[in-house]
Chain A
């Protein structure tokens, strides 16, 4: 693999770009691996990378039913932040943000991580108090967090709709270190870096069956043959329940819902930050990509679904929210919209845990927030698989927390998955 550096860029610029090698191999599946990760999304690839890098476990396969970057890795709004409050969640997402800050160097791949600030608007004194509480908790943990008053906000983002009498903007809760990254580059960067450490990335390799023997998984049947693994990790958000039932493990505290996102045509620089607008149950977030497109998303489609396509009422809702907060977008045209299938959990928090099968490990339940979590998710999941002991920051993120009454419910919405958006 040719490394990306100034010397290679100049050299290949002079020889017609002929000196680059392919980004990752396309190997035939071996019959045996130390670890099999099912799911070649950001979380699966990150897990394989950290297994190889942090734990010297290099005989690893990542099984992907489609192609790298074709699932939820390519179906998100690329926002990275760590404004979480609950114990466990806070430490986890802050660790993730720290990994993001060094990710391009770590992977030798420009993931275009841009710490442009995450600006969460509030519209009532109650919402301001709630934001102050959350952001104070963040500060106490050493995360950057600040409240902007109306004057500061108007100076920073002058073209928001400040004249809305129904939902007047009072200010914003801001995390400056937050921002966004290029989703494809993250998938490719992790795949390339994991591959260079010896991980086999097997694309077009769909799991079709799971063979259990004496309480552990013996082998996995795939569209590219039977593969044995000493340990198996699931990282297939959206389809976790399907795989879980293939392993005859019954029910999970997860429902699959879909979430849409939208991209407009490119325009000149308009918005320097990620802006979040949430009132009256609506939820809307928008940023501008480096190409100039406005990238935005809204609520879930409100009913359970595995279909990777969105419904029209949410297109309308999101467009209305865009007009409410940035009326200057009125004549912009949508280029694309898409839907990704989310693992919505019963308390809105994720799972990185062991399972009733001794050599099976679960990484699932990422709700709305899988993209920003991917580095830490891979980090802690690799740690769990290698060391068998869940790290302190994820030791409550297991399937038993509901029976024990230790829900990690960031939103306080209760056991209804669609409400945790």
Chain B
């Protein structure tokens, strides 16, 4: 069981969360070429090691989180809210 330290709820089992996917993807502008959109939607680096990914605390506070996790050992380095404003709130409340 992976344990994720939710900034709002505290450390919980990963079964409370839903896995989102690769958090490093940046969607291009609407005017970008088909090739760029194909790359963003369909192509992945599929890192073997630490990667940024999103998790949704779907059975908790329902916050989307950005998690830095190893895809080999499942060790988690950092957890923070995806939304930049929520990140600030969490920082200020520390």
Q: Shortest CB–CB separation between residue A402 and chain B, in angstroms?
A: 4
Q: Is A241 an interface residue (CB 8 A)?
A: yes
Residues of A contacting B14 in the complex (Cβ-Cβ under 8 angstroms): 303, 311, 313
Q: Shortest CB–CB separation between residue A304 and chain B, in angstroms?
A: 6
Residues of A contacting B15 in the complex (Cβ-Cβ under 8 angstroms): 313
Cα–Cα distance between A252 and B39 once the two chains are bound (Å): 9
Interface residue ranges of B36-62 to A (CB < 8 Å): 38-39, 41-46, 48, 51, 53
Are B72 and A307 in contact (CB-based, < 8 A)?
A: yes
- Residue on B with the closest CB to A256? B46
Are B21 and A306 in contact (CB-based, < 8 A)?
A: no
Are B38 and A256 in contact (CB-based, < 8 A)?
A: no
The 8 Å CB contact of A304, one of B13, B34, B53, is: B53
Are A306 and B71 in contact (CB-based, < 8 A)?
A: yes
**Contact string, B67-84, partner A, CB cutoff 8 A, digits 1/0?**
000011110000000000
The 8 Å CB contact of A416, one of B13, B21, B43, B53, is: B21
Q: Shortest CB–CB separation between residue B28 and chain A, in angstroms?
A: 14
**Contact string, B1-41, partner A, CB cutoff 8 A, digits 1/0?**
11000000000011100110110000000000011001101
Residues of B contacting A346 in the complex (Cβ-Cβ under 8 angstroms): 41-42
Residues of B contacting A311 in the complex (Cβ-Cβ under 8 angstroms): 1-2, 14
Q: Is A183 an interface residue (CB 8 A)?
A: no
Q: Shortest CB–CB separation between residue B36 and chain A, in angstroms?
A: 10
Are B48 and A252 in contact (CB-based, < 8 A)?
A: no
Q: Is A312 an interface residue (CB 8 A)?
A: yes
**Contact residues of A: prevailing secondary structure:** mixed
Are B19 and A304 in contact (CB-based, < 8 A)?
A: yes
**Contact string, A368-386, partner B, CB cutoff 8 A, digits 1/0?**
0000000000000000000
- A303-B14, A303-B19 known; A415-B42 Cβ under 8 A: yes
Are A307 and B73 in contact (CB-based, < 8 A)?
A: yes
Cα–Cα distance between A255 and B43 once the two chains are bound (Å): 9
Cα–Cα distance between A250 and B38 once the two chains are bound (Å): 14
- A312-B1, A418-B19 known; A252-B43 Cβ under 8 A: yes
**Contact string, A303-323, partner B, CB cutoff 8 A, digits 1/0?**
111110001110000000000
Cα–Cα distance between A416 and B71 once the two chains are bound (Å): 17
Are A251 and B43 in contact (CB-based, < 8 A)?
A: yes
Q: Shortest CB–CB separation between residue B54 and chain A, in angstroms?
A: 11
Q: Is A261 an interface residue (CB 8 A)?
A: no
The 8 Å CB contact of A253, one of B2, B43, B51, B72, is: B43
Residues of A contacting B73 in the complex (Cβ-Cβ under 8 angstroms): 307
- A256-B71, A312-B1, A418-B19 known; A306-B48 Cβ under 8 A: yes
Of the A-B pairs whose beta carbons lie under 8 Å apart in the complex, a sample of 21, sorted by A's number, is A241-B46, A242-B48, A253-B43, A254-B44, A302-B19, A303-B19, A303-B53, A304-B19, A304-B53, A304-B71, A305-B71, A305-B72, A306-B48, A306-B72, A311-B1, A312-B1, A346-B41, A402-B41, A402-B42, A403-B35, A403-B38
Question: Which residues of chain A have a CB within 8 Å of any CB of chain B?
Answer: 239, 241-242, 245, 250-256, 302-307, 311-313, 346, 402-403, 415-416, 418
Leading 10 A-B pairs by shortest Cβ distance: A241-B46, A251-B43, A303-B19, A402-B42, A403-B38, A313-B15, A253-B42, A346-B42, A306-B48, A306-B71
